[in-house]
Amino acid sequence: MAPKRLKTEQIKDLAARLDKVATNLWWTWDEEAQEVFYELSPRGWQNLFHNAVAVLHEVSDYELSVRLLNPEFAARVRHVVDGFDQYMTAKDTWGAKHAPKLLKNPVAYFTAEFGFHETLPIAAGGLGVLAGDHAKSASDLGIGFVGISLFYREGYFQQAIDHNNWQTEYYSLLNPANLPMEPVHGADGKPIRCKVRIGSADVAFTAWRVNVGRNPVYLLDTNLPENEPHHRDLTLRVYGGDTSTRIMQEILLGVGGVRLLRTLGVAPSVFHMNEGHAAFLVFELMREKLQAGKTLAEAEAATRQECIFTTHTPVEAGHDRFSADLMSYSAHCFSEQLKISQDQLMAYGRVRPKDRHEPFCMTVLALKLSRAANGVSELHGRVSRHMWHTLYSNVPVEQVPIGHITNGIHLLGWMKGPVRKFWRRKFSEEIAPGKSGSGGESTRFWKREPGRDWAQRLISPEFWHQIEDPAFVSDEELWSLRYTLRREMIEFCRRRLLLQEQRVTQRDFIIFDHLLNPDALTIGFARRFATYKRAPLIFQRIDDIIHLCRDQKRPVQFIFAGKAHPRDDDGKRFIQKIIHLSKYSDLKGHLVFVENYDIHVARQMVSGCDVWMNNPRRPLEASGTSGMKAGCHGCLNMSILDGWWREGYDGTNGFAIGEDSHPDSVEEQDRLDSKNLYDTLTKQVIPLFFDRDEHGIPHKWIKMIRRAMVTLVPQFTTDRMVKEYTENYYVPQGR
Ligand SMILES: *Cc1c(COP(=O)(O)O)cnc(C)c1O
């Protein structure tokens, strides 16, 4: 049945609906939507950071209408927009079943960063990516949610490595008109204007709306002509500037966020502070209650009932602390509004309220003014209870009221295209047995089977449980998938390295295919280059590692990526060391560093590598999430038993480095971990990967991949995580 050509009206309608899809981040987790945008402008898609809005701007209305005259393409577009409408109007969500009784109004989620997609680079790292994944899952589950953050018009920095192998930073200006976001309008039809008092100034801000599936995320923006230049630049860069910029950004986020919600008429059921950055919101909630006639004590108690707090790190520097001077300079309005002294205000952020030398800590404020708090893994919960015991010295440490919810990832958003297609083919085989493999690449675009939501099934635990069954998927199929993914990543790395090299040397001295070996055991490491993550740990035994990499029969190779904080010279030295080794040691060709780590690079690496290496100094990795992204692609974790891996590892589904304990001395720990890392690699990982049958298939390795898929993939998702937040935190306990 050939699809019929559309009438002009139908084409107009379709184009308008496609436009709507482009301004909803839903397309970032819908493969078919992405394929439509890709096809409209393949180079545009590639060069504009896979941005649907920019692609639609690239294609004229006339071109789009002509393209839609092609019935086959029009049918696919219709399929996408129908899918979108179905998603947006679905009634039978988890939230509809479980949450309405519990949550009448939306959850307001405040965070200093949101990492949704490479198109909108306003996250510095894992905290933001987690927030983005939280928002996506809240939408998928049908939970009322509204996100609050800032629109940093220069985002987080871009990394470029110079000829000394030193990280340099540059910023590019984001253009809201070309991004999946829209200005928020007030009742008068004009862009909304709100104000927040910072220091002695009233700083005006407006807001942008990012549609994350069914839910809005609002990004505050002070770049308005009526503001002083330094106030306009509060929303310039993620964590830009010094502590005085930081405190002003946090006042804007916390207080401004509440003001915006009030202006929009949103009355959240609960305020979720994702990390301490947003904690000033409690002062605004208290001010409102005082104004409504409550006493300070009543206002405080009522505010506490509305707030919950998630702490994300045991690293000291991760907890913002502001001096009394800075507080009285930038935040004196709080004491005025709450009619309290500056000392009383400081007390809210102090462990010892009367200690005049103690700075104001945002984490302390958040803990004091929330009804419940949590860490992001079991171990991190325990470590946090110890860390903040002094705040609750009247109870034993086990009773410090900080629980835990282990982080997760938004599975559909992270699953790479070929992997989704791979599983999708399985669904169609189920329907029509015996048709396996037919079509191959020519059926690149699949039709949604009518009446069955395969994407929903793909994220169900039941689906992943079948993977242990070789009748469902064979070792050969899984191994060939691994080859596809490894090759895609290697070719991605080669392209990126060529560009990196050309930029630095102005010539191409890398020979494309001399870099990386598609048959080698490929080990990936990519994350922020915070020093506690110890990126170069593996190279403490450099001669042994060179030996492993140059082994002809059982070759190993390494791919690294990551950004160091602009002011972290130690982190930059780690990068320099690794790049130096990649260029000037015998590791050349077996070790590469890919510049400018972001969500796109992350997606390539977690899917293409065979092993995801993580060797933080325990217990400083509160959870870690990149290793969770590896599982659905058949990439195995090799990690210290810290954060999530301590809960995920069961002896059959990946590799542990060392024991479920750590020595007190840092030096001893580094020495021990370096040894354990090397032992795990040489005694377990390499032998298993190269244990092949006569066709070269590593059956035992693949068995481990199956175990990882069964035990880890359905467990470490933000679907599970958001359900836990909803049931255990968003809903007041005991009601
Ligand atoms: C997932 C992710 C992170 C977090 O990774 P960790 O393992 O938690 O350090 C950081 N940055 C990007 C771009 C990511 O995609």
Q: Which residues fall within 8 angstroms of residue 474, CB to CB, at 6 or more apart?
A: none
Interval between CA 125 and ligand 1 midpoint (Å): 6
Residue with more model confidence, 6 or 308: 308
Q: Which of 351-365, 375-389, 428-442, 625-639 has the lowest mean pLDDT?
A: 428-442
Residue of the nearest CA to atom 8 in ligand 1? 624
Residue of the nearest CA to atom 11 in ligand 1? 125
Q: Is residue 719 part of a domain?
A: no
537 close to 674: Cβ distance less than 8 angstroms = yes
Of the residues 377, 404, 431, which one is the last residue of a structural domain? 404
Q: Is residue 414 part of a domain?
A: no
Q: Is the pLDDT of residue 527 over 70?
A: yes
Of the residues 31, 63, 89, which one is the last residue of a structural domain? 89
Q: Is residue 266 part of a domain?
A: yes
Predicted pLDDT at 434 = 43
Q: Which of 91-105, 127-141, 702-716 has the lowest mean pLDDT?
A: 91-105
Number of domains comprising the chain: 3
Predicted pLDDT at 512 = 61
Asked if 35 and 113 sit in the same domain, the reply is no
- Alpha carbon dihedral 356, 361, 366, 372, in 10-degree steps, equals -90
pLDDT-derived band at 142 (thresholds 50, 70, 90) equals very high
Give the mean model confidence (pLDDT) for residues 519-542. 96
Interval between CA 652 and ligand 1 midpoint (Å): 24
598 CA closest ligand 1 atom index: 13
Interval between CA 492 and ligand 1 midpoint (Å): 19
Q: Is the pLDDT of residue 432 over 60?
A: no
Give the helix ranges, DSSP H, for 270-399. Answer: 281-291, 296-306, 324-330, 332-338, 342-347, 362-368, 378-387
Q: Is the pLDDT of residue 438 over 50?
A: no
pLDDT-derived band at 447 (thresholds 50, 70, 90) equals very low
Residue of the nearest CA to atom 5 in ligand 1? 626
Give the mean model confidence (pLDDT) for residues 665-671. 95
Q: Is the pLDDT of residue 451 over 80?
A: no
Asked if 62 and 151 sit in the same domain, the reply is no
What is the CB < 6 Å shell around ligand 1? 125-126, 129, 527, 597-599, 602, 624-626, 629
602 CA closest ligand 1 atom index: 15
Query: Ligand 1, residues 625, 633, 718, 721: which to mutate, most atoms within 8 A of Cβ?
Result: 625
pLDDT-derived band at 439 (thresholds 50, 70, 90) equals very low
Q: Is the pLDDT of residue 547 over 90?
A: yes
Interval between CA 249 and ligand 1 midpoint (Å): 23
- Both tokens of 539, joined, read 């190279």
Asked if 56 and 109 sit in the same domain, the reply is no
Interval between CA 623 and ligand 1 midpoint (Å): 11
Looking up tokens 């220069």 gives 154
- What's the number of CA atoms in the CB half-sphere (13 Å) around residue 64? 20
130 CA closest ligand 1 atom index: 1
Of the residues 353, 372, 404, which one is the last residue of a structural domain? 404
Q: Is the pLDDT of residue 110 over 80?
A: yes
Q: Is residue 168 part of a domain?
A: yes
Residue of the nearest CA to atom 3 in ligand 1? 126
Predicted pLDDT at 590 = 96
629 CA closest ligand 1 atom index: 1
Asked if 81 and 130 sit in the same domain, the reply is no
527 CA closest ligand 1 atom index: 9
Predicted pLDDT at 3 = 67
Whole-number average pLDDT of the chain: 93
Asked if 70 and 117 sit in the same domain, the reply is no
pLDDT-derived band at 440 (thresholds 50, 70, 90) equals very low
Predicted pLDDT at 21 = 98
Give the mean model confidence (pLDDT) for residues 583-607. 96
Q: Is residue 203 part of a domain?
A: yes
Please, which contacts does 586-591 make with residues 24 or more away whose CB atoms are closer than 8 Å?
A: 586/546, 586/549, 586/550, 587/545, 587/546, 587/549, 587/558, 589/514, 589/515, 589/516, 590/516, 590/517, 590/520, 590/549, 590/550, 590/555, 590/556, 590/557, 590/558, 591/549, 591/557, 591/558, 591/559, 591/560
Interval between CA 19 and ligand 1 midpoint (Å): 30
Asked if 231 and 278 sit in the same domain, the reply is yes
Interval between CA 700 and ligand 1 midpoint (Å): 29
Give 394-420 pLDDT, tens digit per residue: 999 999 999 999 999 999 999 999 999
Interval between CA 502 and ligand 1 midpoint (Å): 27
CA distances to 253, 352, 383, 632, 643 from 126, rounded to whole Å, are 19, 31, 19, 19, 13
Give 68-79 pLDDT, tens digit per residue: 999 999 999 999
Distance (Å, whole) CA 388 – CA 31 = 44
Q: Is the pLDDT of residue 59 over 60?
A: yes
Asked if 85 and 223 sit in the same domain, the reply is no
Give the mean model confidence (pLDDT) for residues 160-165. 94
Interval between CA 528 and ligand 1 midpoint (Å): 7
Asked if 509 and 563 sit in the same domain, the reply is yes
Interval between CA 626 and ligand 1 midpoint (Å): 5
Q: Is residue 514 part of a domain?
A: yes
Q: Is the pLDDT of residue 344 over 50?
A: yes
Predicted pLDDT at 265 = 95
Interval between CA 533 and ligand 1 midpoint (Å): 12
Handedness of CA 462, 467, 471, 477 (dihedral sign): positive
626 CA closest ligand 1 atom index: 7
Q: Is 612 helix (H, G, I), strand (E, B) or coil?
A: strand
623 CA closest ligand 1 atom index: 8
Q: Is residue 626 part of a domain?
A: yes
Give the mean model confidence (pLDDT) for residues 38-64. 94
* Residues above pLDDT 90, as percent of the chain: 87
Residue with more model confidence, 67 or 240: 67
Give 169-201 pLDDT, tens digit per residue: 999 999 999 999 999 998 899 999 999 999 999
CATH number at residue 229: 3.40.50.2000
Range of the domain at 226: 105-404
pLDDT-derived band at 6 (thresholds 50, 70, 90) equals confident
555 close to 519: Cβ distance less than 8 angstroms = yes
Asked if 549 and 686 sit in the same domain, the reply is yes
Looking up tokens 């790292």 gives 125
Interval between CA 330 and ligand 1 midpoint (Å): 32
Asked if 574 and 678 sit in the same domain, the reply is yes
Whole-structure pTM value: 0.95
Asked if 678 and 622 sit in the same domain, the reply is yes
Q: Which of 273-287, 432-446, 572-586, 629-643 has the lowest mean pLDDT?
A: 432-446
Residue of the nearest CA to atom 1 in ligand 1? 626
Query: Ligand 1, residues 626, 640, 644: which to mutate, most atoms within 8 A of Cβ?
Result: 626
Q: Which amino acid is at 562?
A: G
Q: Is residue 56 part of a domain?
A: yes
Q: Is 166 helix (H, G, I), strand (E, B) or coil?
A: coil
pLDDT-derived band at 446 (thresholds 50, 70, 90) equals very low
Asked if 233 and 140 sit in the same domain, the reply is yes
Query: Ligand 1, residues 113, 118, 129: which to mutate, most atoms within 8 A of Cβ?
Result: 129
Give 496-516 pLDDT, tens digit per residue: 998 888 887 766 565 666 799
Predicted pLDDT at 187 = 86
Predicted pLDDT at 404 = 98
Give the helix ranges, DSSP H, for 110-218. Answer: 126-141
- Both tokens of 648, joined, read 């995920």
